[in-house]
Amino acid sequence: MYAEVVFPLPFRNSFTYSIPLDYEDIIQQGTRVVVPFGKRILSGFVTGLKKEVDIKNQIRDIIDIIDDTPVFDDISLKFYEWLANYYLCSLGEALRNSIPPGLEVESKRQIIADTDFCSKLYIEEENKDCIKAKILQFFSLKEKANISFLQKAVNKKNIYSTLKNLEKLGAIEIQDSIADVKVKAKKVKFVELADSLDRTYGIIAEIEKKSPKQVIILLELLSRKNKSVKLSDLLEKTNSSMTSINSLESKNLVRVFDKEVERIHVELYKEEATNFELTNQQAEVVNTVSKSIDKNEFIPYLLYGVTGSGKTHVYIELAKKALSLNKTVLILVPEISLTPQIMTRFINTFKNKVTLIHSRMSMGERYDSWRGVINGKYKVVIGPRSAIFAPLKNIGLIVVDEEHDASYKQNDLTPKFNARDSAVIKAQIYNCPIILGSATPSVESMHNALTNKYKLLTLPERVDSAQMPIIRLIDIIEAKKIKQMENNFSKVLIEEIKNRVEKKEGVIILQNRRGFSTQLFCEDCGEIEVCPDCSANLVHHLDKNILRCHYCGFSKPVPRFCSKCGSIHLKFFGTGTQRIEDELSYYLPNYKIERVDSDSIDTKGKFGTIMNSFRNGEIDILVGTQIVSKGLDFSNVTLVGVISAETTLWIPDFRADERTFQLLTQVSGRAGRSKAEGEVLIQTQNPNNFTLQKVVTNDYKGFYEREIKMRELNHYPPFAKLALIETKAEDENQARTAANQFYDILRKKATPLMINNPIPAGIPKIKKNYRFHILIKSPKSIDPAAKLLRNTIMDAYSEYNQKAQYKDVRIIIDIDPHTIM
Ligand code: ADP
Ligand code: ZN
Ligand code: ZN
């Protein structure tokens, strides 16, 4: 027998290996195996088996097996194949997602050095500053190192070509090993009686004479009848030692054994369960989708329901329906740790049938919840984009809540998938309905609904006859002129906040920037403090009194002199959440203000705790970044204030208007969710801006209609597919040259694709790497399935790789990029 194996690496082919006889019964499609590959040893996925191959002599044996049960099945393989084809990664890179984090067994490379030889070469090397010299110096003293350690030691990432050269010289050897898995099932020792209750009772008198301590243990176990007890609990309760247990065991009176325990993630946010009748509008939606669940039919529904229309309740009713038919349910939410309410409502309803899968859980918790899904214990999975890979079988319903949210797109790792779009494909493969829900549907999804690719469902009203809030813009340029601004607050806004908190109503303030000041500026020479590794301003964080880069995390103490001219006239500019919090506590010293941004909620469970206190009224005002715009449902919130509408409006990106509309509409939606009327005050320098006007009038339709025209005019989605090619390297010139080369190859293909000239990226340097972009647009009218786009890129990519001049330049392909910065 032979196995087809793919690797979680960028090469696209599969490779054939022969299966040793001993393994024939165990290896199946979906098993992970360890195999030789050139000089290396790799772990890979078996994607298929076959009996015959053409050329037998070059085929090597599988060395080892990693899993005793397959990690994916036929139907999920289809999904991973789609993912690889669509996002242009290898099948192995897509399949890497089929196992929970911690179970990857990566092949690790180690470098073994000939220290004497390295030291000799180091002495001979003329340029002691070059990377080769640094590596040689390192290995003059050290015999062994893994690559990442070495990368850190010499402070450079791209060292492979230098290492390869040194290997050729015989100075070092690069070796492979398979690193062990990081997580395992958790086992705990338990104790139970080995004999029957009667016989154990019978023997007590005899034991009591010699070892009274052991009797205490026996009595405790007897009091629990036939139930086993955790060893540590037993020892504590009876105040005894392991010696007593051991001797009881040797007398065959008790048995000590391993029992697997599940690590369960506990969320800190808690709400009472509520029960209510569906409104007529909700019932209609539930009815329609229920029929699709019944019939196992793939229909993508776009649920356009205003904020507070009770979308969560609809999801829950439909999930109940799917479960009643013995099917499973997948619920995707933007960032789960930021949406404790929807999560809590699912947990309240489905109790131990629902599990979370998200990155703030420990590796062990995720592993256990993953296995609970595989063995059918969990029927409902709720989580952010990575939960799309949860190994659910027999899926009856998929929900993507807040489908417009940017966090569904994976930007950093390969494949750069969009979980919303992938979920639609997943539903198609599993033959089930999918609901994309939002109060501010993405332009793409609404277009799909209006062109009948999706089916549109609407919830146009808030439940419980709550009214939509009244939204007003405050022109801060005008306010400044007439002295109605104090720091970042207009008098109107501050008065209104006072007014609300005095009445014990909740207030939410949005400023979509972290930190205190966003710039440190020299008044004498004009220098702005920037990150040494990125082209980004350093942001002042008051709590730690440091300047920090929001792209790479670099930080340093606030300088007292300008780093360029030495002047002491340094000035802070730009406003972040910390400053808003600070100013507010000056104006409202007697009220409790809490800040929520990724700096303030860095510890596990912190956000849930803050949400609890806000609901109880222990916190009066929440100040935060876009985190406060997401899904919060607190009936006592009556005022939402936006410090500056410009934080998203001025981003040079084709989605800037859409994101502004979504953010402001969503944050406004937090106000007035009950009888008390809600109010929203948005401070801006552009009160006549079209997007802001549409936010004020709550006119999604008007916004959409203009936006879709602009998209058509400028060849943006949904009228064209986009792909972004990025070249990235520490050497600016290499990155630029590579971009030009790639561009030339693309141009020669003479396709009708629209290929933009290579340009430095919006943020030209991140983490020491220079970035260049080539944007490709593929009009839907000529390339409806974007096949031409993908084929052209793949052809160009392999041609580029054959010619590539610089080995240290990385080429990154992003299909459907969310931003083109
Ligand atoms: P959305 O996600 O659409 O903004 P939610 O799902 O958060 O809205 O619902 C808003 C509020 O309305 C919640 O507090 C929810 O408990 C409540 N709610 C939902 N459906 C009903 C109903 N049929 N009757 C009464 N209250 C409801
Ligand atoms: Zn200066
Ligand atoms: Zn940086």
Q: In three state form, how does the secondary structure of 752-791 look?
A: CCEECCCEEEEEEEECCEEEEEEEEEEECCCCCCCHHHHH
Pairwise CA distance, residues 263 & 185, whole Å:
9
Name the helix (H) or strand (E) containing 46: strand 40-50
Quote the tokens at residue 464.
């419980």
The rounded Å distance from CA 633 to ligand 1 centre is 8
Identify the nearest ligand to the CA of 271 by its number.
1
> For the residues 245-258, what does the mean pLDDT come to?
91
Closest atom of ligand 1 to CA, residue 311: 3
The rounded Å distance from CA 572 to ligand 2 centre is 13
DSSP letters spanning 128-144:
TTSHHHHHHHHHHH-SE
Neighbour-count burial of 667, counting CB atoms closer than 10 A to its CB (0-12 exposed, 13-18 middle, 19+ buried): buried
Closest atom of ligand 1 to CA, residue 278: 23
Per-residue pLDDT band for 176 (boundaries 50, 70, 90) equals low
- Read off the pLDDT of residues 758-810 as tens digits, 9 standing for 90 and up: 999 999 999 999 999 999 999 999 999 999 999 999 999 999 999 888 888 99
By most ligand atoms within 8 Å of CB, the mutation choice from 314, 331, 463, 464 for ligand 1 is 463
Cα angle value 145/146/150 (rounded, 5°) = 75
> For the residues 473-477, what does the mean pLDDT come to?
96
Pairwise CA distance, residues 649 & 641, whole Å:
17
> For the residues 198-225, what does the mean pLDDT come to?
88
| Cβ-based neighbours of 811, under 8 Å, separated by 6 or more | 725, 726, 727, 728, 738, 742, 797, 800
Closest atom of ligand 1 to CA, residue 307: 4
Name the helix (H) or strand (E) containing 811: strand 810-815
Between 698 and 208, the higher pLDDT residue: 698
- What residue's CA is closest to ligand 1, atom 20? 310
What are φ and ψ of residue 708, in 5° steps?
-70, -30
Query: Which of 767, 706, 760 minimizes the C-alpha distance to 733?
Result: 760
- What residue's CA is closest to ligand 1, atom 24? 276
What are φ and ψ of residue 336, in 5° steps?
-65, -35
Query: Which of 672, 519, 489 minimizes the C-alpha distance to 581?
Result: 489
Question: In the prediction, which pLDDT does 177 show?
Answer: 65
Closest atom of ligand 1 to CA, residue 669: 4
What are φ and ψ of residue 15, in 5° steps?
-130, 145
- What residue's CA is closest to ligand 1, atom 12? 310
Which amino acid would we find at residue 196?
S
Backbone torsion region of residue 16, taken as left when φ is above 0, otherwise alpha when ψ lies between -120 and 50, otherwise beta: beta
Question: Please, are residues 220 and 234 in contact by the beta-carbon 8 Å criterion?
Answer: yes
Quote the tokens at residue 745.
């190859």
Quote the tokens at residue 761.
């990226």
Q: Is the pLDDT of residue 261 over 90?
A: no
> For the residues 670-675, what does the mean pLDDT come to?
88
- Read off the pLDDT of residues 292-317 as tens digits, 9 standing for 90 and up: 999 999 999 999 999 999 999 999 99
Place of tokens 């803050």: 610
Closest atom of ligand 1 to CA, residue 459: 3
pTM equals 0.86
Question: Please, are residues 218 and 279 in contact by the beta-carbon 8 Å criterion?
Answer: no
Question: Please, are residues 665 and 402 in contact by the beta-carbon 8 Å criterion?
Answer: no
Closest atom of ligand 1 to CA, residue 306: 3
Per-residue pLDDT band for 106 (boundaries 50, 70, 90) equals low
- Read off the pLDDT of residues 177-187 as tens digits, 9 standing for 90 and up: 666 666 677 88
The rounded Å distance from CA 561 to ligand 2 centre is 8
Residue 297, strand partner residues: none
The rounded Å distance from CA 226 to ligand 1 centre is 47
Q: Is the pLDDT of residue 732 over 90?
A: yes
Give the β-pairing of 593-596 and 485-486.
unpaired
The rounded Å distance from CA 768 to ligand 3 centre is 8
By most ligand atoms within 8 Å of CB, the mutation choice from 341, 346, 633, 667 for ligand 1 is 633
- Read off the pLDDT of residues 593-626 as tens digits, 9 standing for 90 and up: 999 998 888 777 788 889 999 999 999 999 999 9
Residue 769, strand partner residues: 766
Neighbour-count burial of 781, counting CB atoms closer than 10 A to its CB (0-12 exposed, 13-18 middle, 19+ buried): exposed
Query: Which of 342, 475, 389, 328 minimizes the C-alpha distance to 98?
Result: 389
Residues lining ion ligand 3 (Cβ < 5 A) are: 531, 533-534, 549, 551-552, 554
Question: Please, are residues 74 and 35 in contact by the beta-carbon 8 Å criterion?
Answer: no
> For the residues 683-691, what does the mean pLDDT come to?
95
Question: Please, are residues 667 and 625 in contact by the beta-carbon 8 Å criterion?
Answer: no
The rounded Å distance from CA 313 to ligand 1 centre is 6
Mean pLDDT lowest among 16-25, 649-658, 718-727: 649-658
Pocket of ligand 1 (CB under 6 A): 274, 276-279, 282, 305, 307-313, 463-464, 633
Pairwise CA distance, residues 425 & 450, whole Å:
19
Identify the nearest ligand to the CA of 342 by its number.
1
Pairwise CA distance, residues 180 & 58, whole Å:
29
Pairwise CA distance, residues 65 & 105, whole Å:
11
| Highest mean predicted confidence (pLDDT) among 246-255, 352-361, 418-427 | 418-427
The rounded Å distance from CA 553 to ligand 3 centre is 6
- Mean confidence (pLDDT) of the chain: 91
The rounded Å distance from CA 518 to ligand 2 centre is 17
What are φ and ψ of residue 344, in 5° steps?
-60, -40
Question: Please, are residues 718 and 755 in contact by the beta-carbon 8 Å criterion?
Answer: no
Quote the tokens at residue 253.
């009176």
Question: In the prediction, which pLDDT does 546 show?
Answer: 94
Q: Is the pLDDT of residue 188 over 80?
A: yes
Identify the nearest ligand to the CA of 285 by its number.
1
Identify the nearest ligand to the CA of 768 by its number.
3
Quote the tokens at residue 516.
């205190």
Residues lining ion ligand 2 (Cβ < 5 A) are: 522, 524-525, 527, 562, 564-565, 567
Name the helix (H) or strand (E) containing 796: helix 787-803
Pairwise CA distance, residues 758 & 779, whole Å:
19
Question: Please, are residues 760 and 726 in contact by the beta-carbon 8 Å criterion?
Answer: no
Q: Is the pLDDT of residue 657 over 90?
A: yes
Q: Is the pLDDT of residue 481 over 90?
A: yes
> For the residues 582-589, what does the mean pLDDT come to?
95
Identify the nearest ligand to the CA of 554 by its number.
3
Pairwise CA distance, residues 176 & 805, whole Å:
27
Neighbour-count burial of 8, counting CB atoms closer than 10 A to its CB (0-12 exposed, 13-18 middle, 19+ buried): buried
CA separation, residue 621 to residues 330, 497, 584, 770 (Å): 34, 9, 9, 41
Report the interhelical angle of 242-250 vs 212-223 (nearest 10°): 80
CA separation, residue 752 to residues 86, 722, 776, 783 (Å): 20, 14, 11, 9
The rounded Å distance from CA 673 to ligand 1 centre is 9
Residue 113, strand partner residues: 172
Quote the tokens at residue 234.
């037993």
Question: Please, are residues 37 and 109 in contact by the beta-carbon 8 Å criterion?
Answer: no
The separation between the first and the last C-alpha atoms of the chain, rounded to the nearest angstrom, is 50
The rounded Å distance from CA 356 to ligand 1 centre is 22
Identify the nearest ligand to the CA of 552 by its number.
3
| Highest mean predicted confidence (pLDDT) among 27-31, 145-149, 579-583 | 579-583
- Read off the pLDDT of residues 365-409 as tens digits, 9 standing for 90 and up: 888 888 899 889 999 999 999 999 999 999 999 999 999 999 999
Residue 225, strand partner residues: none
Quote the tokens at residue 529.
């403090």
Name the helix (H) or strand (E) containing 247: helix 242-250
Cα angle value 49/50/55 (rounded, 5°) = 125
Quote the tokens at residue 654.
């084709």
What is the layout of strands, in order, in the sheet containing 40-50? Answer: 60-61, 15-18, 2-6, 40-50, 32-37, 64-65
